[in-house]
């Protein structure tokens, strides 16, 4: 079997409740035996360009030789080994696993070493007590709130609404204006609410700042969604700065890299809770295969309330039962894209095409408040 073509597909839809377009970036690899594989990456223009660049490298190659092709693509990156190349390799390698699974008649989890669980525990996002109650009534046992505005009060309100049996997580999104001292103050103020983890309280590229938060706050610390490749995660793991590592299947560099990261983390008693914030349905399915296979899996980030396109562009959709996603048993990823839906919903990479994320209390404009007022608003 030989690879004969690699194509990208950008599809998107306007958010119903805010400005901008929600894009999805897919890849499909074609072979001379008629078997195709699909993958997905974070929807960024640089990643799409890199998929085309790296896709040209593997034309004529055997899609079964995943490690060889990964190395070929990675070495070609050389001076650009960050999110752009990591995202491109993630999508392509995902599609290679899909091809291999289809050709062998096996789900990807079986190729990764077998299935440790039939269901993957999932949480979803809730930013108000009303949303929290709604999802708990639907059967969710884990909820995450995002953003920095009135973070402590929101955690308090959510805990009072759902009680002690529901896991709560707080994600500050590592805003560049958040000082380490502020992140520690917020963390200390929410220690008594029994959080499952405290995610990206400071910008994750500042490893020393993360270490200071970890040493000062008695809540499990989570980070890793912005990393590409195991090399970028090595210090977080070796120094045990994080308790939970959160690679993104659309950025990190492929399922093989995520499996290696899981093994690195396991050696340090660190759990894995993969990130889904940048991804759509195909990337989610790839992560579910991974989560089924690793021993140190904690919980999966399942996105509810996305644009309708997410639930129309791929079939079948993941089955969620009582806060758990059923692990698929079909060959490969076990899903396929609906081409007619992609064609009918072209994406948008023009300036302003992505939303300013007002929902989570931040935008692409740095705030300029006086620090005393800024901190007061966070810890009340």
Mean pLDDT, each 10-residue run in order, the chain (380 residues): 97 87 95 98 91 96 98 84 90 98 98 97 94 96 90 95 97 89 96 97 91 97 94 96 96 96 98 86 96 97 91 94 95 97 91 47 44 48
Token couple for 3: 């690879």
Verify that 66 and 169 share a domain, yes or no.
no
pLDDT of residue 376: 52
pLDDT of residue 177: 83
**Could you give the CA distance from residue 166 to residue 174 in angstroms, rounded to a whole number?**
24
Examine residue 350 and state whether it is found in any structural domain, yes or no: no
Contact 222, 241 (CB under 8 A): no
Verify that 76 and 140 share a domain, yes or no.
no
Domain tally, the chain: 2
Residue 259: strand pairing partners:
none
Verify that 68 and 200 share a domain, yes or no.
no
Give the C-alpha distances (Å, rounded to integers) separating 301 from 157, 185, 225, 297.
22, 26, 12, 12
Residue 176: strand pairing partners:
none
Sheet of 21-31: strands edge to edge?
3-14, 21-31, 36-41
Verify that 152 and 38 share a domain, yes or no.
no
Closest CA to 275 of 349, 201, 354, 171: 171
Examine residue 377 and state whether it is found in any structural domain, yes or no: no
Examine residue 230 and state whether it is found in any structural domain, yes or no: yes
Cis peptide before 316 (omega within 30 of 0): yes
Q: 0.75 cut: is pTM over it?
A: yes
Cα three-residue angle 327-272-300, rounded to 5 degrees: 40
pLDDT of residue 205: 84
Tell which of 48, 72, 106 closes a domain.
106
CATH code of the domain covering residue 33: 3.30.390.10
Tell which of 63, 84, 106 closes a domain.
106
CB atoms closer than 10 angstroms to residue 206: 14
State which residues form the domain around 249. Answer: 110-337
Residue 124: strand pairing partners:
143
Token couple for 319: 């089955």
Examine residue 260 and state whether it is found in any structural domain, yes or no: yes
Verify that 212 and 141 share a domain, yes or no.
yes
Verify that 102 and 197 share a domain, yes or no.
no
Tell which of 48, 75, 106 closes a domain.
106
Closest CA to 284 of 1, 38, 44: 38
Verify that 90 and 18 share a domain, yes or no.
yes
Verify that 183 and 41 share a domain, yes or no.
no
Examine residue 234 and state whether it is found in any structural domain, yes or no: yes
């Amino acid at each position: 079997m030989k690879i004969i073509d690699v194509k990208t597909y950008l599809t998107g839809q306007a958010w119903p409740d805010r400005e901008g377009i929600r894009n999805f970036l897919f890849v499909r690899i074609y072979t001379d035996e008629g078997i195709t594989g699909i993958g997905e990456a974070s929807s960024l223009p640089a990643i799409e360009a890199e998929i085309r660049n790296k896709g040209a490298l593997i034309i004529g190659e055997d899609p079964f030789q995943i490690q060889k092709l990964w190395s070929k693509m990675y070495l070609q990156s050389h001076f650009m080994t960050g999110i752009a190349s990591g995202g491109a390799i993630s999508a392509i390698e995902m599609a290679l696993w899909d091809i291999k699974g289809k050709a062998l008649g096996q789900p990807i989890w079986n190729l990764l070493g077998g299935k440790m669980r039939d269901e993957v525990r999932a949480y979803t996002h809730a930013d108000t007590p009303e949303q929290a109650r709604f999802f708990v009534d639907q059967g969710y046992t884990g909820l995450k709130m995002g953003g920095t505005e009135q973070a402590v009060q929101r955690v308090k309100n959510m805990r009072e609404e759902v009680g002690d049996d529901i896991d709560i997580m707080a994600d500050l999104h590592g805003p560049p204006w958040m000082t380490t001292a502020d992140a520690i103050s917020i963390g200390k103020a929410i220690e008594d609410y029994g959080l499952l983890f405290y995610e990206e309280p400071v910008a994750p590229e500042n490893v020393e700042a993360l270490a200071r938060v970890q040493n000062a706050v008695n809540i499990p610390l989570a980070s890793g969604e912005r990393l590409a490749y195991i090399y970028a995660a090595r210090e977080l793991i070796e120094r045990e700065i994080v308790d939970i590592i959160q690679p993104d299947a659309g950025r990190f560099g492929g399922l093989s890299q995520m499996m290696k990261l899981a093994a690195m983390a396991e050696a340090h008693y660190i759990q894995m809770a993969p990130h889904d914030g940048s991804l759509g349905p195909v990337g989610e399915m790839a992560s579910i295969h991974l989560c089924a296979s690793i021993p140190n899996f904690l919980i999966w980030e399942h996105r509810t309330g996305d644009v309708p396109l997410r639930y129309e562009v791929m079939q079948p959709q993941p089955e969620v039962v009582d806060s758990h996603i059923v692990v698929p048993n079909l060959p490969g990823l076990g899903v396929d894209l609906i081409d007619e839906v992609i064609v009918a919903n072209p994406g948008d990479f023009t300036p302003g095409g992505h939303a300013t994320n007002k929902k989570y209390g931040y935008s692409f404009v740095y705030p300029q408040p006086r620090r005393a007022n800024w901190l007061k608003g966070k810890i009340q």
